[in-house]
Amino acid sequence: MKKIADMLTASRGLIAGIIVLLGFGGRAALPAVIALIIIGWTTDILDGKLARRARTQSEPGGSIENSWLGEHDFTIDMIMVFASFVYLVVAGFIVPELALGYILLAALFILWSSGSKSVTELFAFPLVALPLIIAYSEESWVAYVYIGWVILALILGWQRFIGVVREFIDGVKSLRKT
């Protein structure tokens, strides 16, 4: 199971590369990019479930060590987020100067917070939402498919979603203490 989870994680790196390349195809590639984003986030959900299941099925008292990919899952997720942002810039949906300003601001805050996962997520969230927002204005049917997927993912993974939100809030709280 762990190897399948790792393959799913690695697939997001490949998906990110394809998304960036589609930027050179221009605005017409938006539906394909949204489809790849949905596939990518689906692999994220599945690899997480498989990795957690592999841990719980280990011998009592034993543990399964994370692989390199497992330990860098969040980084690979952020690469995918960044790839969709790069697509939006290269395809002409976002002005490059605005994108550069946002990236510099995010980098400063992330460095200031010593690489806090919560701060990284805070700056990543708008980048995750942008393809949906742009799809709604350009190809509304694609946005509706994406929204349907989000609703289904939330219904099926509500408990995990709540856990992620709690982890984010705890991370923000720990920043206030330092």
Number of structural domains found in the chain: 1
**DSSP element (H, E) containing 64:** none
Residue 123 predicted with pLDDT over 80? yes
Q: How confident is the model at residue 51 (pLDDT cuts 50, 70, 90)?
A: confident
Burial letters 27-57, b for 16+ CB under 10 A, else e: eebbeebbebbbebbebbeebbbbbeebbee
Residue 35 predicted with pLDDT over 60? yes
List Cα–Cα distances, 97 to 81, 102, 134, in angstroms.
18, 9, 18
Mean pLDDT of 136-156: 96
CATH number at residue 107: 1.20.120
Mean pLDDT of 119-144: 96
Residue 57 predicted with pLDDT over 80? no
> What amino acid occupies position 97?
E
* Per-residue pLDDT, 70: 84
* Per-residue pLDDT, 22: 98
Q: Which of 78, 168, 82 is closest to 130 using CA atoms?
A: 82
Residue 165 predicted with pLDDT over 70? yes
What range defines the domain where residue 74 resides? 2-177
Q: How confident is the model at residue 15 (pLDDT cuts 50, 70, 90)?
A: very high
* Per-residue pLDDT, 98: 97
